[in-house]
Amino acid sequence: MKKILVIHGPNLQLLGHRNPSVYGRMSLSAINERLKVQARRFKAALTVIQSNHEGEIVEAIGKARGRCDGILINPAAYTHTSVAIRDALEAVGLPAVEVHLSNIYARESFRRKSLMSPVVTGQITGFGPESYTLGLNALIGLLTSRRPKR
């Protein structure tokens, strides 16, 4: 059974209420339920965290080595600012897929740069909650085929 760490970054606990025109109306708990159903179909186990604190995310990534096979991450605002999360993803050496609900490249200029993209296997952006399911599908495919992580 593949073990996958799912990380939701800052403010994602507000999904469904925060800027629904940008992020949609689906709650984080609903997204997590969809992911769990999808994971069961692929015989994968998920560990899901949400944190508004950069250090907690860095620690979770660091602890994933030896416990998880891959990481699905929406770093949220930390996408554009966190060298620490970027370095943790690089150091842990696990396949990782970065996801975003909105198309970060069609938004404000400061959101168009992902510090994570050079160190993750791939990125899915702009499909709303479907970004997560597409990302999980891609990650499970990578883990199943044992393709290189980058």
With respect to residue 90, please indicate whether it lies within any of the assigned structural domains.
yes
Active-site residue, selected from the candidate residues 8, 78, 100, 132: 100
120 and 96 Cβ atoms separated by less than 8 Å: yes
pLDDT given at position 104: 86
The pTM for the full model equals: 0.91
With respect to residue 22, please indicate whether it lies within any of the assigned structural domains.
yes
Closest CA to 44 of 16, 4, 92, 101: 4
DSSP lists the bridge partners of residue 99 as 124
With respect to residue 150, please indicate whether it lies within any of the assigned structural domains.
no
Q: Is 100 marked active-site?
A: yes
79 and 100 Cβ atoms separated by less than 8 Å: yes
Per-residue pLDDT 10s for the chain (150 aa) are: 999 999 999 989 988 777 666 666 779 999 999 999 999 999 999 999 999 999 999 999 999 999 999 999 999 999 999 999 999 999 999 999 999 998 988 777 877 789 999 999 999 999 999 999 999 999 999 999 864 555
The pair of three-digit structure tokens given for residue 142, joined into one six-digit string = 């990578």
Domains in the chain: how many in total? 1
Q: Is 23 marked active-site?
A: yes
Q: Residue 127 is part of a domain; what is its CATH number?
A: 3.40.50.9100
Domain hosting residue 82, numbered range: 2-145
Active-site residue, selected from the candidate residues 8, 23, 78, 132: 23
124: number of Cβ within 10 Å = 21
Question: What is the spatial distance between Cα 101 and Cα 22, in angstroms, rounded to a whole number?
Answer: 8
